[in-house]
C-alpha cells in the first residue's frame, strides 16, 4: 500500500505541483478509504469523491491525469480476440456494471450464473454491452447483498454513515451467510473475501476496520471476514463439507514483512569500497568515544550512507551471530540508531507512532477493559491502580487479555543491576526481552535493556517504558525476527494498532505446530494474515472508541 501511495502522490505532484503536501496525503487517504486498491482503480474516481478537498478546475485536471495514467492498461484489458464467440457484434464498455445473477439451484451453478449474466446483459443493454471480462464473473463478484432483508438499524447506520452496534452487525452477518449459502453451501475464504471487500468498498464508514487516523487496518475487511467465515463454518459444522484450505508447507515472507527498503541499492555516489571505508570510520569513532559518539553529526551522516551495507550484512544467509553484527555496527545498537534504522527500513518513526498512539487511545483501551474485563488477570491489573506508566499498563492489560504471561515480553531485575548482572542472574531466552528494573507489580523506570540470544544487546537511559518498547519492537524488523509464541498476539496488536504496519498478506508470528484443543494431538498451526483474537479485539475497540471519543 505504501508503494501505491507513492505512485498516486507522484501523479498528483505532476498534475498539481503547487498543491500542499498535507492536501496530497488527504486525497490519497480519502481514495484508499473509499476502496482504492491498485493504480488501475484510479479510473473509477469521480469528482464528488474529492469535492471537499479541491476546487472544480483542480479536480478536473486531476481526474484527467488519473484517466490518462490508466488508459493504456484499460485498453489492454478491453482487447477481445475476434475469434471468440463472445466478441461478435459487441462494443467494449469499461464503465458498465455487471448484471447481478439470481442464485443458481443446480450443481453447475457457476456455468448457470455465467449464462444467466450473459443472457441478461444481451437483453438489457443491446447498445452498450459489457466486456468479456465482465461477463465471465464468478458468483461472489456479482453477488448482491440483500440489504432489504437486513435489520432496520443496519440500513439506518448505512444511510447515516455510522457504525452499527455489535448485536446488529451479527444479525447482518447471519442474513449475509444465509444468502451466500444459496449459491454455495460452504463458500471458501476467498469467496467470502470477495463479498466482504465489495461491502467495505461500498460502506467503509459503517463496516471497515479503520484506525483513528482514518487509515484502513489490513485492508479494512478482516473483522467482518472473520465473522462471516465463522458463521458459515458454524452452520456447516454438522455437515459433511470440508474447509477449502490448502497448506503448501512453504515459509511465508516474514523477513521482508512490513519493510519498504529491505535491501536497498547503494547511494548513487557510493561504491562498495567507499561504504566499507565509512563503516570502518564508524568503528573508529566508537572505539574513541563509545556510545556517546552517537550524538555526532558525522555519525548520523555515515549511518545513513551505510544503510544498504548494514542491510546486506544483516540479511546474509545463514543469519550472522548478533555479536558479529554488533562488532561491525556498534552504533546500530544504540537507541537512537535502532529508531533511525527502523524508520529507513519501514518509513515509520516507531517511537513517535507508539507515543502518539498511547496518548490517543491508551485511556480508551483501559476504559474498555474496565467496562468489560475479559478474565481474572485483567481484573487483577485494573485493581492495582494507575501508578505505572500508561504504556506499560496498556501492555500488561493486552497480555492478560490474550492469556500471555508478562515474562513472554518483559523481565524484571534489581534496580541497580548491570548488563553483566542480567546475563549471569536471569534465565534469558533466545528471543528478545525488555529488561526493566523493579519488583513484581510495581516498576520504576530508570532505564531499560534489551536482550537477544541470551545477551544484552542495547541499553537505554531514558526513563520511560515507551522508549524501551519501541526499541525492542524495532529489533524484530531490523534483524528479521519472528514474534515469539509467548507474546505473539500482543506484539501483533502493537504492530497493527500502535505502529500502523498492516500488510494484507504474511505474518511475523511463527507457523509451527500446536496441540489441538479438540483432539489433543499435535497439528500444524493454522496461518492467517491477522490473528483471530487480535482482529476481534481491534474491531471491538474500534466500536468502543467510536462511542468513547
Q: Report how far residue 452's alpha carbon sits from residue 20's, in angstroms, rounded to the nearest whole number.
A: 44
**Residues, the chain:** 549
User: Can you read off the three cell numbers belonging to residue 289?
Assistant: 568515544
If you average pLDDT over residues 217-223, what whole number do you get? Answer: 76
DSSP 8-state assignment for residue 410? E
What does pLDDT average to over the chain?
A: 79
Q: Give percent of the chain with pLDDT exceeding 90.
A: 37
| % of the chain beyond a pLDDT of 70 | 77
Question: 342-368 pLDDT, tens per residue?
Answer: 999 999 999 999 999 998 888 999 999
- pLDDT for position 189: 80
How many angstroms separate the CA atoms of 423 and 455, rounded? 6
Partner residues linked to 509 by β-bridges: 483
d(CA 164, CA 206): 7
Mean pLDDT of 509-531: 61
| pLDDT of 131 strictly over 50 | no
Residue 524 CB neighbour total at 10 angstroms: 12
The 8-class DSSP code of residue 509 comes to: B
- Across 81-95, 141-155, 431-445, the highest mean pLDDT is recorded for 141-155
Of residues 267 and 119, more confidently modeled? 267
The answer to whether 546 and 240 are in contact (CB under 8 A) is: no
Question: pLDDT grade, residue 458 (50/70/90)?
Answer: very high
Check residues 48 and 92 and name the one with the higher pLDDT.
48
pLDDT band at residue 439 using 50, 70 and 90 as cut-offs: low
Examine the pLDDT at 17 and tell me if it is beyond 90.
no
| One-character DSSP codes across 159-222 | HHT-PPPHHHHHHHHHHHHHHHTTT-SS--HHHHHHHHHHHHHH-HHHHS-B-TTS-BSGGG-H
Asked if 447 contacts 463 with a C-beta cutoff of 8 angstroms, the reply is yes
Q: Using the Cα atoms of residue 233, residue 545, residue 215 and residue 408 in order, give the sign of their dihedral.
A: negative
pLDDT of residue 152 exceeding 50: yes
Higher pLDDT, 56 or 78: 56
- Sole residue written with cell 450464473: 113
Q: Over the range 187-226, which residues count as b (16 or more CB within 10 Å of their CB) and which as e?
A: bebebbbbbbbbbbbebbebbbbbbeeeebbbbbbbbbbb
- What's the pLDDT score for residue 331? 97
State pLDDT tens for residues 299-330: 999 999 999 999 999 999 888 889 999 999 99
The predicted pLDDT at position 253 comes to 52
233: left (phi over 0), alpha (psi -120 to 50) or beta: alpha
Per-residue pLDDT, 252: 38
pLDDT of 110 strictly over 50 = no
Residues 268-293 pLDDT 10s: 999 999 999 999 999 999 999 999 99
Quote the pLDDT of residue 1: 55
Whole-angstrom distance, CA of residue 339 vs CA of residue 467: 10
pLDDT at 516: 56
pLDDT for res 185: 85
What pLDDT, on a 0 to 100 scale, did the predictor assign at position 18?
77
Amino acid at each position: 500500500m505504501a508503494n501505491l501511495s507513492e505512485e498516486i502522490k507522484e501523479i498528483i505532484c505532476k498534475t498539481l505541483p503547487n498543491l500542499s503536501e498535507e492536501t496530497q496525503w488527504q486525497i490519497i487517504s480519502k481514495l484508499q478509504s473509499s476502496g482504492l486498491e491498485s493504480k488501475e482503480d484510479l479510473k473509477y474516481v469521480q469528482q464528488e469523491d474529492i469535492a471537499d478537498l479541491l476546487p472544480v478546475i483542480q479536480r478536473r485536471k486531476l481526474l484527467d491525469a488519473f484517466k490518462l495514467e490508466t488508459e493504456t492498461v484499460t485498453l489492454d484489458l478491453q482487447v477481445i480476440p475476434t475469434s471468440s464467440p463472445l466478441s461478435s457484434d459487441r462494443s467494449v464498455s469499461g464503465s458498465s456494471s455487471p448484471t447481478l445473477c439470481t442464485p443458481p439451484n443446480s450443481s453447475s451453478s457457476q456455468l448457470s450464473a455465467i449464462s444467466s449474466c450473459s443472457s441478461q446483459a444481451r437483453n438489457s443493454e443491446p447498445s452498450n454491452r459489457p466486456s468479456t471480462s465482465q461477463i465471465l464473473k464468478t458468483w461472489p463478484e456479482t453477488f448482491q447483498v440483500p440489504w432489504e432483508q437486513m435489520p432496520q438499524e443496519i440500513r439506518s447506520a448505512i444511510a447515516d454513515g455510522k457504525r452499527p452496534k455489535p448485536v446488529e452487525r451479527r444479525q447482518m452477518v447471519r442474513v449475509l451467510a444465509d444468502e451466500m449459502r444459496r449459491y454455495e453451501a460452504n463458500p471458501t475464504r476467498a469467496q467470502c473475501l470477495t463479498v466482504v471487500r465489495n461491502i467495505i468498498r461500498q460502506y467503509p464508514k459503517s463496516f471497515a476496520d479503520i484506525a483513528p487516523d482514518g487509515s484502513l487496518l489490513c485492508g479494512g475487511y478482516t473483522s467482518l471476514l472473520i465473522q462471516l467465515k465463522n458463521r458459515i463454518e458454524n452452520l456447516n459444522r454438522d455437515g459433511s463439507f470440508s474447509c477449502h484450505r490448502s497448506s503448501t508447507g512453504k515459509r511465508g515472507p516474514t523477513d521482508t514483512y512490513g519493510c519498504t527498503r529491505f535491501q536497498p541499492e547503494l547511494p548513487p555516489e557510493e561504491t562498495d569500497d567507499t561504504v566499507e571505508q565509512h563503516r570502518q570510520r564508524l568503528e573508529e569513532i566508537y572505539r574513541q568515544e563509545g556510545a556517546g559518539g552517537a550524538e555526532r553529526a558525522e555519525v548520523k551522516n555515515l549511518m545513513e550512507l551505510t544503510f544498504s551495507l548494514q542491510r546486506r550484512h544483516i540479511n546474509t544467509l545463514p543469519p550472522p551471530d548478533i555479536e558479529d553484527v554488533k562488532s561491525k555496527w556498534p552504533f546500530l545498537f544504540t537507541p537512537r540508531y535502532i529508531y533511525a534504522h527502523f524508520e529507513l527500513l519501514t518509513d515509520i518513526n516507531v517511537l513517535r507512532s507508539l507515543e502518539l498512539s498511547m496518548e490517543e487511545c491508551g485511556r480508551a483501551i483501559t476504559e474498555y477493559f474496565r467496562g468489560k474485563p475479559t478474565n481474572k488477570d485483567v481484573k487483577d491489573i485494573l485493581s492495582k491502580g494507575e501508578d505505572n506508566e500508561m504504556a506499560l499498563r496498556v501492555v500488561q492489560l493486552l497480555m492478560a487479555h490474550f492469556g500471555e504471561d508478562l515474562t513472554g515480553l518483559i523481565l524484571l531485575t534489581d534496580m541497580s543491576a548491570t548488563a553483566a548482572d542480567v546475563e549471569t542472574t536471569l534465565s534469558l531466552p533466545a528471543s528478545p526481552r525488555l529488561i526493566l528494573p523493579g519488583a513484581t507489580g510495581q516498576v520504576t523506570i530508570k532505564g531499560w535493556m534489551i536482550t537477544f540470544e541470551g545477551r544484552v544487546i542495547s541499553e537505554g537511559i531514558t526513563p520511560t517504558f515507551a522508549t524501551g518498547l519501541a526499541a525492542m519492537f524495532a529489533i524484530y524488523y531490523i534483524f528479521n525476527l519472528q514474534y515469539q509464541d509467548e507474546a505473539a498476539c500482543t506484539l501483533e496488536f502493537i504492530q497493527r494498532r500502535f505502529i500502523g504496519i498492516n500488510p494484507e498478506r504474511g505474518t511475523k508470528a511463527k507457523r509451527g505446530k500446536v496441540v489441538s484443543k479438540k483432539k489433543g494431538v499435535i497439528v500444524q498451526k493454522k496461518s492467517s494474515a491477522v490473528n483471530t483474537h487480535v482482529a476481534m479485539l481491534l474491531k471491538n475497540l474500534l466500536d468502543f472508541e467510536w462511542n468513547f471519543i
